[in-house]
């Protein structure tokens, strides 16, 4: 890091301490909070972030640190929630964990493989086959009905199984088996989000990343989405990482990380 002190540069307390974490922390669970909660076997960690810094260059030549040397582990087959106020760094972190964006410093391990050293073709495969995405503003294709939207996702992921069977299965799973022929404009926001979730899980990814998936929904629809996530974790064994700034949803997470000004400040 340069010697210039920027107004939000990580402080010395964030210096990575090899005496605590060891010099090879790939995929290893850590217990920064000293309570042994949330510490998992190495095999049970699907993604880990180590000393992740994200710095955005600003127009005036200064730098803005959106993430300031952050460590976290995502346990496999669980629902992990990243909570924090708007602007705390949730989206930035999610984009880095899902290989959509690069960290400025630090490492991200997915199944033990470090993303920075992975060839772009491998990262592309990871995004296409192993990851599903759900966004706040539901990104369905307006001229395609629910069935066709899920089918489109399956084709993009080169799904090799029986597509028709899988489409019906996942739309049933999200409670929309009777709405397969409906266009997005003929469904409520909550129903559209459930189609988006069906599309995200259809190709059987290992992990689903969901950025504020309940952010645009009313409370009841938001809870339906959360229940669905819990079911997917329990029944399909999928790993879900989602962000939210809604304090009411926290207790539904298996692991909850609280992020504040680009730092993890609590884990429960
Ligand atoms: N591309 C960018 N360039 C400059 N600053 C950015 C960029 N993306 C995000 N930021 C800043 O980083 C901080 C964290 O943003 P973000 O991760 O989107 O927060 P959250 O998702 O928690 O609302 C914010 O202050 C935001 O303005
Ligand atoms: Mg965000």
| Domain of residue 80, CATH code | 3.40.50.300
Asked if the structure places residue 229 within a domain, the reply is yes
How many angstroms separate the CA atoms of 52 and 49, rounded?
A: 6
Digit-coded pLDDT (tens) for 117-166? 999 999 999 999 999 999 887 789 999 999 999 999 999 999 999 999 99
| pLDDT number for residue 137 | 79
Question: Does residue 79 belong to any structural domain of this protein?
Answer: yes
Phi then psi for residue 236, to 5 deg, are: -100, -5
Q: Can you give the residue range of the structural domain that contains 143?
A: 12-267
The total of structural domains in the chain comes to: 1
Asked if residue 172 belongs to a domain, the reply is yes
253 lines ligand 1 (CB under 6 A): no
Q: Cβ(96)–Cβ(106) under 8 Å? A: no
- Position 259 in a domain: yes
Q: Tell me how far apart the alpha carbons of residues 193 and 170 are, in angstroms, rounded to a whole number.
A: 13
| Within a domain: 4 | no
Tell whether ligand 1 has an atom less than 6 A from the beta carbon of residue 91. Answer: yes
pTM of the model: 0.85
Residue nearest to atom 1 of ligand 1 (CA): 56
Residue 78 covered by a domain? yes
pLDDT in tens, 49-73: 999 999 999 988 899 999 999 999 9
Instruction: Kindly state if the Cβ of 86 falls inside 6 Å of ligand 1.
Output: yes
- Name the residue at shortest CA distance from atom 17 of ligand 1: 89
Q: Is residue 45 part of a domain?
A: yes
In the reported structure, the alpha carbon of residue 181 is separated from the centroid of ligand 2 by a whole-number distance in angstroms of 32
Instruction: State whether residue 167 is helix, strand or coil.
Output: helix
* Chain segment 225-236, per-residue pLDDT in tens: 999 999 999 988
Is 78 a residue whose pLDDT tops 50?
A: yes
Please tell me the residue having the least CA distance from ligand 1 atom 8. 92
Across 105-199, the runs of DSSP E, i.e. the strands, are 105-110, 113-114, 131-134
DSSP structure class, residue 126: I
Look at residue 74 and give its three-state secondary structure: strand
- In the three-class reduction of DSSP (H, G, I as helix; E, B as strand; rest coil), residue 37 is classed as coil
Q: Is residue 6 part of a domain?
A: no
Instruction: Give the position, in ligand 1's atom list, of the atom nearest the Cα of 85.
Output: 22
């Amino acid at each position: 890091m340069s010697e210039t002190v920027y107004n939000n540069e990580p402080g010395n307390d964030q210096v990575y301490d090899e005496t605590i974490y060891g010099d090879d922390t790939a995929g290893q669970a850590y217990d920064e909070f000293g309570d042994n909660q949330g510490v998992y076997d190495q095999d049970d960690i699907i993604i880990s972030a180590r000393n992740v810094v994200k710095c955005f260059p600003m127009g005036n030549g200064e730098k803005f640190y959106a993430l300031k040397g952050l460590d976290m582990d995502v346990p496999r087959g669980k629902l992990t929630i990243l909570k924090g106020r708007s602007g705390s760094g949730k989206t930035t972190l999610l984009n880095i964990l899902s290989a959509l964006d690069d960290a400025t410093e630090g490492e991200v391990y997915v199944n033990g493989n470090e993303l920075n050293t992975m060839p772009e073709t491998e990262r592309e495969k990871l995004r296409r086959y192993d990851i599903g995405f759900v966004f706040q503003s539901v990104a369905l294709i307006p001229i395609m009905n629910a069935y066709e939207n899920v089918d489109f996702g399956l084709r993009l992921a080169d799904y090799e199984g029986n597509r028709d069977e899988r489409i019906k299965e996942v739309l049933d799973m999200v409670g929309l088996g009777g709405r397969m022929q409906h266009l997005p404009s003929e469904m409520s926001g909550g129903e559209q989000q459930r189609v988006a979730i069906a599309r995200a899980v259809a190709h059987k990814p290992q992990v689903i990343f969901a950025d504020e998936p309940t952010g645009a929904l009313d409370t009841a629809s938001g809870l339906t989405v959360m229940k669905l996530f819990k079911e997917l974790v329990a029944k399909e064994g999928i790993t879900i990482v989602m962000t939210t700034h809604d304090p009411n949803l926290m207790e539904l997470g298996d692991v909850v990380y609280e992020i504040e000004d680009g730092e993890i400040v609590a884990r429960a």
